[in-house]
């Protein structure tokens, strides 16, 4: 039984069941929209958690990759005449390439220095999309065409619920696979002791770069979905504040916890919807809630609560 519970594949099935069942309980399109947003954010946070929670490298610029994904599906069809799906793939490839080129020099840094370097990268991307207003519409943003696959137009909350939900399940599956593979073990080894990892033959710089590129891919796909879902893209998708939100989601849910990434995204997307009753104090209340969470559950929601469940089931 214990072994069954520990089977990592069970997590994929559990997330799959929740994704399948939720639409039955959601009373309106508004809720479908919110949950679809949770899934989209969770995709980006999954990638960030791979980098921060497993490989132990910080990034304060992940909204940069999210924004590249978002603008790719707007710019590709508008200026290059590409189909939307091709623009999505192109944007993902561009994010991966950029992460590779930027990551090579900056991943030599660690701790605060790496945080500042990634922050700089995010701010630069944000400045490009804000200032190149002839192409991107600047702060006014630009329209995003609908995703069309085989003559079928992807539109409406339910459609995007399914696209984001299925993608999330695939994302969780890929993540579970990775964590339990030699690559995943190398990531986790680097997190705990770089010296020991090197002595065992792990090419530390190469694996850090790989984690950075993979996390950029997740963020970029999330960004593309977000823009397609909204039908509009603004520089907010690249903002420093969004980078911080991703970090908060990852930390709140639990660094190094796959389910935690989803829970963290859910909290930070859903909570503000309910806090609107506080009107002007909304952000203050949200801030206080985050602080309370982190004070009482410092290792994140999921890792802190997991032992309680384990005690109850055994």
Partner 1 sequence: MSILSVENLRIAFGGVVAVDGVSFSVEPSEIFALIGPNGAGKTTLFNMVSGLYVPHNGRIHLGGEDVTHLAPQELARRGMSRTFQNLQVFFRMSAVENVMVGRHLHEKRNVLAHLFTLPSVHAQNRATRAEAERLLALVGLADVADKPASSLPYGALKRLEIARALAAEPKILLLDEPAAGCNPVETEEIDAVIKMIAAQGVTVVLVEHDMRLVMRISNRIHVLDRGRTLAEGSADEIRTNPDVIAAYLGGMGAQEAARARH
Binding footprint of partner 1 on the chain (CB under 8 A): 174, 177-178, 180-186, 188-189, 191-193, 195-204, 210, 256
Structure tokens at 153: 């137009």
Gap between the Cα atoms of 312 and 314, Å rounded? 6
Min CB(153)–partner 1 separation in Å: 30
Q: Which is nearer to partner 1, 17 or 170 (CB)?
A: 170
Min CB(255)–partner 1 separation in Å: 10
DSSP-derived 3-state class of residue 231? coil
Min CB(35)–partner 1 separation in Å: 26
56: region left, alpha or beta (phi > 0 left; psi from -120 to 50 alpha): left
Name the residue with tokens 């009107």: 279
Nearest by Cα to 65 from 116, 39, 103, 108: 103
The torsion angles phi and psi of 47, rounded to 5 degrees, stand at: -65, -45
Min CB(206)–partner 1 separation in Å: 9
The torsion angles phi and psi of 142, rounded to 5 degrees, stand at: -150, 160
Gap between the Cα atoms of 270 and 12, Å rounded? 22
Gap between the Cα atoms of 241 and 95, Å rounded? 19
Q: Which is nearer to partner 1, 216 or 267 (CB)?
A: 216
Q: Which is nearer to partner 1, 1 or 195 (CB)?
A: 195
279: region left, alpha or beta (phi > 0 left; psi from -120 to 50 alpha): left
Min CB(225)–partner 1 separation in Å: 19
Q: Which is nearer to partner 1, 26 or 204 (CB)?
A: 204
Q: Which is nearer to partner 1, 153 or 206 (CB)?
A: 206
Q: Which is nearer to partner 1, 36 or 175 (CB)?
A: 175
Min CB(172)–partner 1 separation in Å: 12
Gap between the Cα atoms of 73 and 188, Å rounded? 34
Q: Which is nearer to partner 1, 171 or 235 (CB)?
A: 171
Min CB(284)–partner 1 separation in Å: 35
DSSP 233-248: E-GGGG-HHHHHHHHH
């Amino acid at each position: 039984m214990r072994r069954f519970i520990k089977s990592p594949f069970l997590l994929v099935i559990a997330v799959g069941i929740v994704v399948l069942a939720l639409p039955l309980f959601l009373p309106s399109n508004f809720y479908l929209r919110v949950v679809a947003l949770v899934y989209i954010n969770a995709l980006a946070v999954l990638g960030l958690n791979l980098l921060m929670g497993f490989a132990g490298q910080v990034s304060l610029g992940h909204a940069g990759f999210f924004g590249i994904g978002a603008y790719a599906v707007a710019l590709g069809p508008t200026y290059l005449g590409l189909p939307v799906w091709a623009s999505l793939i192109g944007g993902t490839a561009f994010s991966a390439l950029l992460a590779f080129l930027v990551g090579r020099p900056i991943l030599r840094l660690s701790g605060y220095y790496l945080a500042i370097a990634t922050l700089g990268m995010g701010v630069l991307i944000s400045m490009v999309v804000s200032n190149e207003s002839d192409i991107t519409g600047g702060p006014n943003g630009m329209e995003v065409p609908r995703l069309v696959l085989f003559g079928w137009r992807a539109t409406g909350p339910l459609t995007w619920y399914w696209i984001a939900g299925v993608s999330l399940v695939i994302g969780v599956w890929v993540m579970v696979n990775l964590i339990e593979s030699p690559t995943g073990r190398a990531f986790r080894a680097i997190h705990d002791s770089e010296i020991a990892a090197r002595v065992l033959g792990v090419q530390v710089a190469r694996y850090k770069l790989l984690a950075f590129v993979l996390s950029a891919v997740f963020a970029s796909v999330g960004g593309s979905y977000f823009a397609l879902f909204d039908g509009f893209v603004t520089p907010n998708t690249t903002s420093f504040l969004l980078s911080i939100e991703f970090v908060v989601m990852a930390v709140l849910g639990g660094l190094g916890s796959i389910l935690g990434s989803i829970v963290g995204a859910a909290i930070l997307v859903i909570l503000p919807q309910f806090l609107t009753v506080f009107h002007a104090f909304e952000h203050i209340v949200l801030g206080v809630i985050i602080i309370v969470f982190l004070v009482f559950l410092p290792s994140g929601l999921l890792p802190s609560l997991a032992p309680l469940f384990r005690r109850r089931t055994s």
